[in-house]
């Protein structure tokens, strides 16, 4: 199985998938995602055998996934007739982890090359549609039923959008639906600026295009949009409870670097 057709930002799905796969190998995993482990093994049978193969620094991203799952589950429990827009889905198996009832219609969106890969690696299911499109192409939203509550989840996507693209996305989703929850993660201005030196992003020939020091302010972009709350990532109690000792120690040290603790913010809005 090859992911060599992926270019630039599309390759950023690999470290996150690998982190979720490695989490599933822990005795007491944070996410416990068997799909991630199976997909990762097919993409790279030796993914866990390299020098840092057992390092779990990616667990912070796994915590982020768990926060998005928990917020999503609680919205769907209150809105079983919802439409889910899972944007920049990569190879994430959220729809299988959350396993919504048949009354929910779920859309997984990413670039066509990723959707092609998903079709090879992950099973299909009822009330589930794959959309191969850039999220910045305004026409994808025309295919989605609009008369129901919406849950928009964008995990690991927003920093790759420019501020103008993000603003267009948020305002068009709010305009299209009667009510909903929007949840995503964003990086700080410092993290955006320094992303051009990030070795992983450099390897993938990409960088962050937007960053916010106070993401709650994004609610001002639309009169119906309201900030709800935020969950920690790099200093998350879940990370500190579940990560192996060496990883906890590394994060404690890293979090002493100014700006590190809040370099990524996981935020939730409603309208």
Ligand X SMILES: C[S@@+](CC[C@H](N)C(=O)[O-])C[C@H]1O[C@@H](n2cnc3c(N)ncnc32)[C@H](O)[C@@H]1O
Q: Cα–Cα distances in Å, from 186 out to 50, 154, 233, 240?
A: 30, 10, 11, 21
Q: For residue 161, what are the contacts with CB-CB under 8 A and spacing of at least 6?
A: 135, 136, 169, 209, 210
Interface residue with ligand X among 12, 186, 188, 264 (CB under 6 A) is 12
- Alpha-carbon distance of 227 to 60, in angstroms, equals 23
**Candidates 95-103, 154-162, 176-184, 240-248; binding stretch for ligand X (CB under 6 A):** 154-162
Interface residue with ligand X among 22, 62, 63, 135 (CB under 6 A) is 135
The least CB distance from residue 91 to ligand X, in Å, is: 6
Interface with ligand X in residues 93-122 (CB under 6 A) = 110-111, 114
- Alpha-carbon distance of 9 to 205, in angstroms, equals 7
- Residue 39 within binding range of ligand X, rule CB under 6 A: no
* Interface with ligand X: number of residues (CB under 6 A): 20
- Residue 266 within binding range of ligand X, rule CB under 6 A: no
- Alpha-carbon distance of 232 to 2, in angstroms, equals 34
- Alpha-carbon distance of 120 to 176, in angstroms, equals 32
**Binding string, 156-175, against ligand X, x = CB under 6 A?**
xx--x---------------
Instruction: Name the site residues for ligand X (rule: CB under 6 A).
Output: 9-10, 12-13, 16-17, 88-90, 92, 110-111, 114, 134-136, 155-157, 160
């Amino acid at each position: 199985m090859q992911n060599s057709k992926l270019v630039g930002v599309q390759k950023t799905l690999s470290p996150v998938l690998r982190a979720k796969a490695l989490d599933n190998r822990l005795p007491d995993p944070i996410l416990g995602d068997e799909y991630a482990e199976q997909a990762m093994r097919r993409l790279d049978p030796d993914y866990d055998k390299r020098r840092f193969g057992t390092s779990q620094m990616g667990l912070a991203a796994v915590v982020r996934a768990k926060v998005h799952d928990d917020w999503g589950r609680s919205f769907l429990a209150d809105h079983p007739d919802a439409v889910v827009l899972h944007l920049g889905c990569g190879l994430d198996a959220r729809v299988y982890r959350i396993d919504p009832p048949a009354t929910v219609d779920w859309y997984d969106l990413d670039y066509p090359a990723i959707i092609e890969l998903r079709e090879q690696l992950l099973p299909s299911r009822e009330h589930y549609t794959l959309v191969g499109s850039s999220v910045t192409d305004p026409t994808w939203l025309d295919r989605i039923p609009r008369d129901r509550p919406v849950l928009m989840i964008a995990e690991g996507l927003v920093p790759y959008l420019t501020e103008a693209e993000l603003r267009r996305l948020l305002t068009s989703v709010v305009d299209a639906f009667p009510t909903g929850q929007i949840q995503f993660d964003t990086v700080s201005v410092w993290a955006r600026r320094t992303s051009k030196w990030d070795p992983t992003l450099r390897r993938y020939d990409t960088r962050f295009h937007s960053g916010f020091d106070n993401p709650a302010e994004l609610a001002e972009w639309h009169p119906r949009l309201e900030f709800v709350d935020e969950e920690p990532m790099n200093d998350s109690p879940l990370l500190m409870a579940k990560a192996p000792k060496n990883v906890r120690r590394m994060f404690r040290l890293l979090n002493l670097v100014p700006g590190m603790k809040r370099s990524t913010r996981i935020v939730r809005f409603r309208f």
